[in-house]
Amino acid sequence: MTVIKRDGRWTVDFRYEGKRYRKKSPIDTQRGAKEYERLLLQRLMQGEPLTPQTAKSEESATAPTCQSFLREWLETYAKTNNKPSEIKSKELIIRCHLSPFFGKRRVSEIGVRELERFKSAQLSKGLSPKTINNQLSVLRRALRSAQEWDLIEVVPTIKWMKARRPDFDFLDFDEAERLFDATVREFRPMVATALKAGLRLGELLALRQTDVDLVNGQIFVKRSVWKKIFGTPKNGLSRRVPIPGSLVRILKDHRHLRGELLFCQEDGALLTRDMIKRVLPRACRRAGLNRTIQWHVLRHTFASHLVMRGEPLKVVQELLGHANIEATMIYAHLSESRLKQAVAKLDEPAPTPPGDGHYVVTRDRRMR
């Protein structure tokens, strides 16, 4: 009997009673392959054929625990494929929620029943359905990797919890003007860019002067920054955002020789979030607003103003850089006034048709 590496995978390869058996190990390590080999031999000695019916029990006996697998998955898959902020979020979900609940169970033992128990336990802690769905999303991606790595045969079906669409805050047209006027002069260009181009805070901080085309009136969003780590924008999607003339004029006046970053410290260094977290709350107080906001509200304001002015949600999606239209649908209700105006036109007098106005309606077409 022997275990070998074949095509990059640990494989058991042996003969029993004149018949050769060659199978890939569910655990792709030498130790896991040897354990799998002993399990196969034991089944053969007991007269149990290695049929598909035995696959689940073999899988269960050799699959790693959830705790060890999730730790490996975070180190291999997540750190290779995700942005630093996403890695941090996944690490927190695994450490605080998934590992404590599923930890000692084997990956192959996670089924629909265990998932429903997990949801019930999380609800009893007072967590919202949206938060629980986020945790389940991480678990599903990890289980897909387990399937791709031949640790499990199938990924269990996950029934998502019904989550209420999240509320969001935005400034109306007058509030946005008052906020801009009340912002300290140093940060007005940055506030204007958030209000008129809808960039995320990380995208604003990472914006370079060369990313702004003032001749053609557009901004190229190519990168974002999180805790001084530069990377691609969210979802890995770069985008081009046309900007209005008012913002072009503000950014022309803002041009400087301090460094490559558009918004930066006096010495050209990156602005930190601690430096800017009080900018908007102070501006809110000066503007007499009845609430305090942070930077993401300016992005919501940009999208809301577009929808309220009748722009299609698909256009707003492209400008915001959303990967799918579902994320943009939170603004859909703001277009209700435009819809009412469209329906009201049904009560207006019908337009006078050309010619004598007499039409004959046939099955296939209208003929005058």
Q: Is 359 a catalytic residue?
A: no
40-49, 102-111, 188-197: which range is least confident on average? 40-49
Going by pLDDT thresholds of 50, 70 and 90, the confidence category of residue 43 is: confident
pLDDT of res. 104: 87
Select, from the ranges 24-28, 152-156, 157-161, the one with the highest average predicted confidence (pLDDT): 157-161
Between 22 and 127, the more confident residue is 127
**Structural domain contains residue 249:** yes
Say if CB 29 and CB 64 are below 8 A apart. Answer: no
pLDDT > 70 in the chain, percent: 88
CA distance 154 to 165: 31
Q: Does residue 197 sit in the same domain as residue 49?
A: no
CA distance 172 to 177: 9
90-94, 232-236, 321-325: which range is least confident on average? 232-236
Say if CB 286 and CB 299 are below 8 A apart. Answer: no
19-33, 141-155, 173-187, 310-324: which range is least confident on average? 19-33
- Say yes or no to pLDDT of 25 above 90: no
pLDDT > 90 in the chain, percent: 56
**Structural domain contains residue 355:** no
CA distance 198 to 241: 9
Q: Is 234 a catalytic residue?
A: yes
- Which residues face 239 on adjacent strands? 221
Between 190 and 3, the more confident residue is 190
Q: Is the dihedral of CA 87, 92, 93, 95 positive or negative?
A: positive
CATH of residue 122's domain is 1.10.150.130
User: Active-site residue among 296, 309, 314, 333?
Assistant: 296
Going by pLDDT thresholds of 50, 70 and 90, the confidence category of residue 118 is: very high
User: Active-site residue among 90, 97, 188, 234?
Assistant: 234
One-letter identity of residue 300: H
Q: Is 331 a catalytic residue?
A: yes
- Say yes or no to pLDDT of 362 above 50: no
State both tokens at 339.
């819809």
Q: Is 299 a catalytic residue?
A: yes
Average pLDDT over residues 35-47: 82
Torsion, Cα of 233, 239, 243, 249 (10° steps): 60
Q: Is the dihedral of CA 215, 247, 272, 85 positive or negative?
A: negative
**pLDDT tens for each residue of 207-259:** 999 999 999 999 999 999 988 889 989 888 899 999 999 999 999 999 999 99
Q: Is the dihedral of CA 26, 29, 35, 41 positive or negative?
A: positive
Average pLDDT over residues 163-168: 79
Exposed/middle/buried for 251, CB within 10 Å: 0-12, 13-18, 19+?
buried
Domain, as residue range, for 135: 66-148
Q: Does residue 80 sit in the same domain as residue 47?
A: no
CATH of residue 262's domain is 1.10.443.10
Count CB atoms within 10 A of the CB of residue 9: 13
Say if CB 130 and CB 163 are below 8 A apart. Answer: yes
**Structural domain contains residue 313:** yes
CA distance 364 to 306: 40
Q: Does residue 328 sit in the same domain as residue 259?
A: yes
- Say yes or no to pLDDT of 82 above 90: no
pLDDT of res. 353: 61
pLDDT of res. 60: 54
**Structural domain contains residue 93:** yes
- Say yes or no to pLDDT of 53 above 50: no
CA distance 295 to 301: 10
User: Active-site residue among 83, 97, 305, 322?
Assistant: 322
**Structural domain contains residue 361:** no
**Structural domain contains residue 231:** yes
Between 121 and 28, the more confident residue is 121
pLDDT of res. 365: 44
CA distance 342 to 281: 39
User: Active-site residue among 90, 97, 196, 200?
Assistant: 200
Q: Is 21 a catalytic residue?
A: no
pLDDT of res. 52: 45
Between 96 and 9, the more confident residue is 96
User: Active-site residue among 331, 345, 358, 363?
Assistant: 331
CA distance 280 to 286: 10
CA distances for 129 relative to 133, 159, 166, 340, angstroms? 6, 12, 11, 33
CA distance 249 to 115: 55
- Say yes or no to pLDDT of 55 above 50: no
Average pLDDT over residues 271-279: 92
Q: Does residue 111 sit in the same domain as residue 56?
A: no
Domain count, the chain: 3
Calculate helix-pair angle for 188-197, 245-254, nearest 10 degrees.
150
Torsion, Cα of 252, 253, 257, 262 (10° steps): -60
Q: Does residue 58 sit in the same domain as residue 91?
A: no
User: Active-site residue among 83, 178, 188, 299?
Assistant: 299
